[in-house]
Chain A
């Protein structure tokens, strides 16, 4: 039985891969990858490495998580080095915990290789620090896409009232709802926010606006995209370095 490496692929730029992730990719017998892992990383694999795509598309969950768990397990029975490559970090909205638990229950050895999360790195590539002396002393990371199967939302909107910076991952299709909710809890209409599409890649697009106007101004921007809300967005004027 092989070992499974639950590996973070980082936010998109292939150079933001960790050295350890690079090593296991080059040693892998099989790489099970999803949509947010840059497929160019697969070119680093050795000859004979098998690639299995199990990703999800927005609005099209064609392979449920329990089947993905089983695909990982079955590959661990067949191969020595199994890399489960996930966009960003496996434990930040990556469901790496569920995959690890599934393997642990079946006595399959696994290792977690953290990746650079898009929550911090994508704003950085847009010239937006998530904290900044005198502007923001904390930041909150929230899913922008809760499971449609949940009857009641787990997002504690009321708690966001005093947050300096809020980052929503995978929230583009709920942008209108997110902006409305934040205004409902008392954030000003002119509060700064930005949508960053395909961050850290050559296709990166950034739309800077206010809670009131962001929906209109970000219309048509492609996924994957991250939403960042807070005064730190205004720092982009000075810090925009990636063009």
Chain B
């Protein structure tokens, strides 16, 4: 018996000794100016001195990690060594940034500008826009963003066309697009932005530089009155999922925005995230239902699972390599991990302080 067990143990051990996860999770610790790094289920490290991490966002490009803080710092770090490399303060308040092989562009709020920096964060130029800027995106040689205080969308072009140091000139500014644009996304050659105070969204065709307004309508022809942050939308090949603002529903549209269904949810949805295989949609909520997440089957469009945690869920992220969903449970200082094959709570990492955004770095990419 003992021999059998021992052989079992050795076989299991030998089998699993070489399993190495490639994903590394960087979790914003919202109130301690730090970022926790989780690998193989262990918090490997905490990167400190990351400034104000309210809405801290991390992006990766090649083997560089970039983080933007609420108080206008952009920080470059090495996701492999988990070390901060350098930082640059663009303004008193910034919220969006984009990266390509030649530059990093930061959309600033308070000094009404867009900063262009080199990939190692040396200032190249500052575009003064006279407006708070949001929804910054890159399309080919274009840098596109929305001007919140001017109700406009601006398109700049790198006149050096990606060769050497970039230099931007205004190509086109669409005016009166809608009242207070506040977020945008890019889908193929379309730049799509939403507004705080206009019941439509704006679409710019970036190949033809034409603008049109599209109104989201429900089946009873009622308009969707407020378009939430695009970061909270989820788009599969055949469906667009939009959390309703102020209603216990997730709207489902076709890719050309014809209404399919309103899925009733337990609370007011905030954030949706599709699984990598697009089979499931995870939904988070605000208000009393902050601790709850629901899982929607994207084929049947029904809620199939519900999980409740012991604190507010601020963000979640699907693993690309394992059937796992990582969840930031903010006020119980933990990251919970669901097994999404059997739908059970697989892991709780209890040592992450006030976690919010979860971002994945794919090692060896």
Interface residues of A (CB under 8 A from B): 14-15, 17, 19, 22-23, 35, 39-44, 47-57, 60, 62-63, 71
**Interface SS of chain A: helix, strand, loop or mixed?**
mixed
A31 to B353: give the CA distance in the assembly, Å: 21
B353 A62 Cβ-Cβ under 8 A = yes
Give the contacts of B308-355 with A (CB-CB under 8 A): 333, 339, 342, 344-353
Which residue of chain A lies nearest to B333 when distances are taken between CB atoms in the complex? Answer: A62
Min CB distance A33 to B, Å, is: 8
Contact partner of B348 (CB less than 8 A), chosen from A42, A50, A57, A60, is A50
A54 B350 Cβ-Cβ under 8 A = yes
Give the contacts of B41-62 with A (CB-CB under 8 A): 41-43, 45-46
Residues of B in contact with A, size category = 20 to 34
Which residue of chain A lies nearest to B13 when distances are taken between CB atoms in the complex? Answer: A14
Known: A22-B8, A54-B350, A55-B42. A15 touches B13 (CB 8 A): yes
**Interface SS of chain B: helix, strand, loop or mixed?**
mixed
A19 B9 Cβ-Cβ under 8 A = yes
* B1-28 interface bits toward A, Cβ cutoff 8 Å, 1 = contact, 0 = none: 0100110111011101101000000000
> Is B40 in contact with chain A by the CB < 8 A criterion?
yes
- Residues from chain A with Cβ under 8 Å of B8 in the complex: 22
A51 B42 Cβ-Cβ under 8 A = no
Most chain A CB atoms below 10 A, which of B6, B9, B342: B9
The 7 listed contacts between A and B (C-beta, < 8 Å) are A15-B10, A19-B9, A22-B13, A35-B42, A54-B351, A55-B43, A63-B350
B344 A50 Cβ-Cβ under 8 A = yes
A51 to B338: give the CA distance in the assembly, Å: 11
Contact partner of A52 (CB less than 8 A), chosen from B5, B19, B347, is B347
Which residue of chain A lies nearest to B2 when distances are taken between CB atoms in the complex? Answer: A19
B46 A60 Cβ-Cβ under 8 A = yes
Known: A22-B5, A39-B41, A53-B350. A44 touches B16 (CB 8 A): yes
Min CB distance A235 to B, Å, is: 28
- Residues from chain A with Cβ under 8 Å of B6 in the complex: 19
A/B pair count, beta carbons within 8 Å: 85
- Residues from chain A with Cβ under 8 Å of B339 in the complex: 47-48
Min CB distance B265 to A, Å, is: 26
Min CB distance A204 to B, Å, is: 14
Contact partner of A50 (CB less than 8 A), chosen from B9, B40, B42, B346, is B346
Known: A42-B41, A71-B350. A47 touches B46 (CB 8 A): no
Which residue of chain A lies nearest to B347 when distances are taken between CB atoms in the complex? Answer: A51
A53 to B44: give the CA distance in the assembly, Å: 12
A-B pairs, top 3 by smallest CB distance, nearest first, are A22-B9, A14-B13, A62-B351
Min CB distance B10 to A, Å, is: 6
A19 to B19: give the CA distance in the assembly, Å: 21
B5 A53 Cβ-Cβ under 8 A = no
Min CB distance B38 to A, Å, is: 9
A48 B348 Cβ-Cβ under 8 A = no
Which residue of chain A lies nearest to B16 when distances are taken between CB atoms in the complex? Answer: A43
Beyond A23-B5, A43-B19, 7 extra complex contacts between A and B, CB < 8 Å: A15-B14, A19-B6, A39-B40, A42-B41, A44-B12, A50-B344, A53-B350
A35 to B39: give the CA distance in the assembly, Å: 12
A54 to B5: give the CA distance in the assembly, Å: 29
A40 B19 Cβ-Cβ under 8 A = yes
Contact partner of A57 (CB less than 8 A), chosen from B12, B41, B46, is B46
Min CB distance B227 to A, Å, is: 39
Min CB distance A39 to B, Å, is: 5
Min CB distance A199 to B, Å, is: 15
A43 to B348: give the CA distance in the assembly, Å: 15
Which residue of chain A lies nearest to B337 when distances are taken between CB atoms in the complex? Answer: A51
- Residues from chain B with Cβ under 8 Å of A23 in the complex: 5
Which residue of chain B lies nearest to A31 when distances are taken between CB atoms in the complex? Answer: B347
- Residues from chain A with Cβ under 8 Å of B40 in the complex: 39-40
Known: A19-B9, A48-B342. A53 touches B348 (CB 8 A): yes
Which residue of chain A lies nearest to B45 when distances are taken between CB atoms in the complex? Answer: A57
A52 to B2: give the CA distance in the assembly, Å: 29
- Residues from chain B with Cβ under 8 Å of A43 in the complex: 12, 16, 19
B13 A51 Cβ-Cβ under 8 A = no
Min CB distance B16 to A, Å, is: 4
Which residue of chain B lies nearest to A23 when distances are taken between CB atoms in the complex? Answer: B5
- Residues from chain B with Cβ under 8 Å of A17 in the complex: 9, 13
A19 to B46: give the CA distance in the assembly, Å: 35
Which residue of chain A lies nearest to B353 when distances are taken between CB atoms in the complex? Answer: A62
A19 to B6: give the CA distance in the assembly, Å: 6
Min CB distance B209 to A, Å, is: 51
Min CB distance B196 to A, Å, is: 39
A60 to B352: give the CA distance in the assembly, Å: 11
Known: A62-B351, A63-B351. A57 touches B43 (CB 8 A): yes
